[in-house]
Amino acid sequence: MEKKLVYDMHTEHIQWINKMLFYKDEMKVMQNRLSEVAGKNTNQEVQAMVEHFQNQLIVQNEQADILKHTIKQYENTIEFHLEKSDTAADKLRWDDHSDLRGKVEMFEKIINELRAELIDFIAKYI
């Protein structure tokens, strides 16, 4: 497994946390837009699609929370080990966290696909 500088890993964690916060805000905006569609369209098919998208947003919101929590746990582990080590963060190397990176990338792929589908849906009914 590739070794990375802990400092670089920390930087990546901060970027990921900021992305999760951004996506959570974006999901709030999407939810508000869905509420507008639901209020303007009483058609059962439209209401069913609104509910589908709302459920997807709930699931992805939970995933963002889980990822954010996992990232923060990793940060706590780094901090704990740095406090016990004489090696500076810009010199210490750890195994890369490619599994976590993969989860973040998959989340982004899913949320971007959801956003595109949602935009198409909203454009039809608003």
Q: How far apart are CA 82 and CA 92, in angstroms?
A: 9
Task: Kindly state the tokens that stand for 124.
Answer: 């039809």
Q: How far apart are CA 24 and CA 11, in angstroms?
A: 20
Spatial neighbors of 1 by CB under 8 A, at least 6 apart, are 95, 96, 98
Render pLDDT for 105-115 as a digit per residue (tens, 0 to 9): 999 999 999 99
In this structure, of 36-50, 64-78, 79-93, the range with the lowest mean pLDDT score is 79-93
- Is 66's pLDDT higher than 90? yes
Alpha helices in the chain (DSSP H): 6-40, 44-84, 98-125
pLDDT for the residue numbered 61 = 98
Render pLDDT for 5-54 as a digit per residue (tens, 0 to 9): 888 888 999 999 999 999 999 999 999 999 999 999 999 999 999 999 99
* Distance (Å) of CA 13 to CA 54, 56, 70, 122: 28, 25, 10, 33
Q: How far apart are CA 95 and CA 112, in angstroms?
A: 29
pLDDT for the residue numbered 126 = 83
User: Domain map of the chain by residue range?
Assistant: 3-125
Enter the pTM of the model. Answer: 0.88
Spatial neighbors of 115 by CB under 8 A, at least 6 apart, are 26, 30
